[in-house]
Amino acid sequence: MADGMDERSGENGRNSKKSTAGNCHSLSASRVVLSVARQRWKILERVIKKKSRKYSETEDNSIRRFETFELFEMGVDSQDDETTWYKYKCPMLDTTFSIDIRVLTGPILIEELLGYNNTGNVCVWPSEEVMTYYCLKRKDLFRNKAVCELGGGMTCLAGFTVARQTDASRVLLTDGNDQCIDNAKHILDKNKSFLKCSDVATMVLKWDQPDPCLEGQFDYIISGDCIFFDRYRHDLISIIKFLLKPNGTALMFAPHRGSTILDFIAMCEGKLNVQLREHYDDVITVKHNRMKQMGKRIYDDNIHYPLLLEVKHLD
């Protein structure tokens, strides 16, 4: 948790005061230089001390002052001291869609937060929400296609949605953190009998340690809010090249976060083709424009509005 929580605001924060904190990977305290990062550490401290996860909007510097584009209906299905099961629905798109998602709500050990890529350990970020909506709306993209979600975090919400509601031939849900994948296995077990895709699996996948069996296996990669990791960007590019079929496409959703998207595009030069799209869905664009009217204290498009990067092999 320490790494990613700062990675979003530390390395790129030196270049932009608008950069903010996330919750993946570890970073030393000496690099926690922005008020954004300090505030995020206060929130983490509350989690560790077993206080509420319901952060107030008065936390001016917290990314969680904006939580959702309200693309899905979400209700508590069941809960205990350690976990909560939420039922996600999207009646505006598909009245038949429903999926159960497990979130850890009990006390979190600091050792569990200091591992590799903890993006989804605390919440579903707006990029994952938007990516899930985008995939659900474009189900035909995935018909008879092999799909891999990279960095799916604690919920792998988009990947499970593809498995639940599309005719994909294969869905592989991955993250680099063991606890995330353990949670994803619980979600898979709960939903397995309702998935349209019959070949669904979870895997701990570190971007610098690819499984040789996965080379060139996927028509689509989906990934939400993963390009801000400065130190892992080279590995991310490498794993995309490794996993994609020759005509495959990676759909990557991420906000600007200072210069992180431009840095990623620059690093892809000579390796991958990247098309950046700011407006890719009318509904999301409308919601984005409405949120902008609330002002940057609540909604800052630099850190909250996911852009779409379509990434392919070089011609």
Q: Check residues 299 and 115 and name the one with the higher pLDDT.
A: 299
- Tokens 């929580």 sit on residue: 5
| Helix ranges restricted to H, 99-232 | 110-113, 126-137, 157-165, 178-191
User: In whole numbers, what is the pLDDT of the chain averaged over residues?
Assistant: 82
Q: Taking residues 86-92, report their average pLDDT.
A: 96
| pLDDT above 90: residue 13 | no
Q: Distance of CA 259 to CAs 19, 229, 230, Å?
A: 9, 12, 11
Task: Please say whether the beta carbons of 1 and 113 come within 8 A.
Answer: yes
Distance CA 178, CA 184 (A): 10
Please enumerate, as own/partner, the contacts of 127-130 that have beta carbons within 8 Å and a separation of 24 or more. 127/224, 127/225, 127/253, 127/254, 127/255, 127/306, 128/153, 128/155, 128/157, 128/158, 128/224, 128/225, 128/253, 129/68, 129/69, 129/71, 129/72, 129/157, 130/69, 130/71, 130/224, 130/253, 130/284, 130/306
pLDDT in tens, 220-257: 999 999 998 888 999 999 999 999 999 999 999 999 99
Output the pLDDT for position 255: 96
How is residue 43 written in tokens? Answer: 């929130």
Output the pLDDT for position 60: 39
| pLDDT above 80: residue 114 | no
Output the pLDDT for position 180: 92
pLDDT in tens, 22-39: 333 333 333 333 444 445
Output the pLDDT for position 44: 47
Output the pLDDT for position 74: 93
| pLDDT above 80: residue 50 | no
Q: DSSP letters along 86-120, please?
A: EEEEETTTEEEEEEEEEEE-S---HHHHSSS--TT
Enter the pTM of the model.
0.79
- CA 242, 174, 87, 22 torsion: positive or negative? negative
How is residue 308 written in tokens? Answer: 């779409």
pLDDT in tens, 292-306: 999 988 999 999 999
